[in-house]
Structure 1
Amino acid sequence: MTIQPSSDRKHGLFVSVDGPGGAGKTTIVRHLAQMLVAQGEHVCVTAEPSTGLIGALASQLTETVTGNALACLYAADRYHHVETEIRPHLKSGHIVISDRYIASGLVVQRFDGVDPVFLWQLNEEVERPDLTVILEADPHVIAERLSERGPHNRFQLAPDSSHVEVRYYRDATNALVDAGFDVLRVDCSSRPPEQSAAVIRDRLKTLLMPDEVLT
């Protein structure tokens, strides 16, 4: 989804939003995009798996392919996603918001027992976001939300999947911080999605300021 109001931005900004299933990623991303458009920004909202050929294949095979093979397929989609969609929109001055990105790549295949070191190596050359947002929530809250909506994939079928996923995201967040990523943690346990989006928007304001204003 690409929305293009009037703006004279010459350099894009890349924001990724990740977090456990049930944290409200898609709703928060939608609110964030609307807020940024209201500010006059060019916004491109995208997601992973991507809508490209590799992403479509990854989505199709998620329920049947496991382990390293699926991890490699998702990583291939991520690199292709960057090359064919994210970078072109950044070059045209868009703020690109990706619903799932590298943090999810460090988490999801761990449910299949894939080594976190291997997952990091698969993803270490991918484009770094200007801001990596990690949505956090109490695992009991997430489990209740998943119970109400139903699981979206096989990784959410285990009774304790929410607790495990929260722990995996904590590990991924620590790895990204240690690697120098600009990470923003947003607690979504009780905060309405529009308020979570506002927290991200406010953080982005500092990245959108001209250098001369910051100095």
Structure 2
Amino acid sequence: MTGLPTELNGAASGVFITLEGGDGSGKSTQAALLAGWLGEQGRTVMRTREPGGTEVGVEIREIVLHHRGHIAPRAEALLYAADRAHHIETAVRPALARGEVVIQDRYIDSSVAYQGAGRVLGGAEVRQLSLWATEGLLPDLTVLLDLDESVARGRLEAAQKRFDRLEAEKGDFHARVREAFLALAAAEPERFLVVDAALPVEELAAVIRARVATLLG
């Protein structure tokens, strides 16, 4: 299934932009820069994330990222889908219906990459689960910040960040995640913008802005 304009996905005139990539690739930084630029253009922007974009999502985020014990991979996938179903219904679709630009850190592609490939559950089944949870809503544009997993790990370590459950996984897990993201982008080139996350922050932001400007017309 390819990306469709939001009005064909059951929303109205808004624009849905997601940022994807491995941990440490700079998604939050680029989301903030893009939101600021769009605000300067007079656009109303909702910036959000998964998991954790709603009050319910904050509680789910605490479980999936910080639970100290084992979580079965299928249970993990279902928790992400539950967060996504609530988030899309209560936050994203209303914003799109108001004509806003939604900038979201992680969405369905993250589940396909992390649970489908990283946890080896199978990308097709995980994707179908999320499509059911969201009633088929796909982004108008997905920006994939691609970065070698060892470089990304170095960034996280340099930041002296406490690793969550997924960040703490071994290198082969993150290598599978990266490969899955790139495969998704290759399968849907009209929806994805793949950028080299090793580029300077402002250079990356300029590339993303150019594509978003084209999208917005």
Say whether the fold is shared (TM-score over 0.5).
yes
Paired amino acid for 2:201: P
| Structure 1 position 59 matched with structure 2 position 69 | no
Q: What is the match of residue 87 of structure 1?
A: 93
| Structure 1 position 153 matched with structure 2 position 160 | no
Within a 5 Å distance, the mapping from 1:128-207 to structure 2 comes to 128-149=138-159, 150-160=161-171, 164-175=173-184, 177-178=186-187, 182-189=191-198, 191-207=199-215
Q: Which runs of 5+ in 2 are unaligned?
A: 1-11
User: For 2:112 and 2:170, how far apart are their aligned partners in 1?
Assistant: 21
Percent identity between the two aligned chains: 35
Q: Secondary structure at the match of 1:124?
A: helix
Q: Secondary structure at the match of 1:46?
A: strand
Report the alpha carbon displacement of residue 159 of structure 1 after superposing the two structures with TM: 4.3
Report the alpha carbon displacement of residue 53 of structure 1 after superposing the two structures with TM: 4.3
User: For 2:14 and 2:182, how far apart are their aligned partners in 1?
Assistant: 24
Q: Write out per-residue CA displacement over residues 77-100 of structure 1, whole angstroms, 9 at most, x where no aligned residue.
A: 112111111111111111100011
Quick check: 1:103–1:169 contact (8 Å CA) kept in 2?
no
Quick check: 2:43–2:101 contact (8 Å CA) kept in 1?
yes
Which is further off, 169-178 or 86-95?
Answer: 169-178
Within a 5 Å distance, the mapping from 1:67-106 to structure 2 comes to 67-106=73-112
Report the alpha carbon displacement of residue 180 of structure 1 after superposing the two structures with TM: 7.2
How many residues matched? 197
Report the alpha carbon displacement of residue 103 of structure 1 after superposing the two structures with TM: 1.4
Which is further off, 74-83 or 63-72?
Answer: 63-72
- RMSD value, Cα: 2.2
Distance 1:19-1:67 versus aligned 2 partners, 3 A rule? same
User: For 1:137 and 1:180, how far apart are their aligned partners in 2?
Assistant: 18
Match of 2:50 among 48, 51, 63: 48
User: For 1:141 and 1:173, how far apart are their aligned partners in 2?
Assistant: 17
Paired amino acid for 2:167: Q
Report the alpha carbon displacement of residue 181 of structure 1 after superposing the two structures with TM: 5.8
Within a 5 Å distance, the mapping from 1:116-131 to structure 2 comes to 116-125=123-132, 126=134, 127-131=137-141
Quick check: 2:21–2:181 contact (8 Å CA) kept in 1?
no
User: For 1:174 and 1:113, how far apart are their aligned partners in 2?
Assistant: 15
Q: What is the match of residue 208 of structure 1?
A: 216
Q: What is the match of residue 114 of structure 1?
A: 121
User: For 1:57 and 1:106, how far apart are their aligned partners in 2?
Assistant: 22
Quick check: 2:185–2:194 contact (8 Å CA) kept in 1?
no
Paired amino acid for 1:165: H
TM-score, scaled relative to structure 2: 0.81
Q: Write out per-residue CA displacement over residues 43-89 of structure 1, whole angstroms, 9 at most, x where no aligned residue.
A: 11001113324412321222342311110111121121111111111
Q: What is the match of residue 11 of structure 1?
A: 13
Which is further off, 13-22 or 172-181?
Answer: 172-181
Q: Which runs of 5+ in 1 are unaligned?
A: 1-9, 210-215
Quick check: 1:103–1:173 contact (8 Å CA) kept in 2?
no
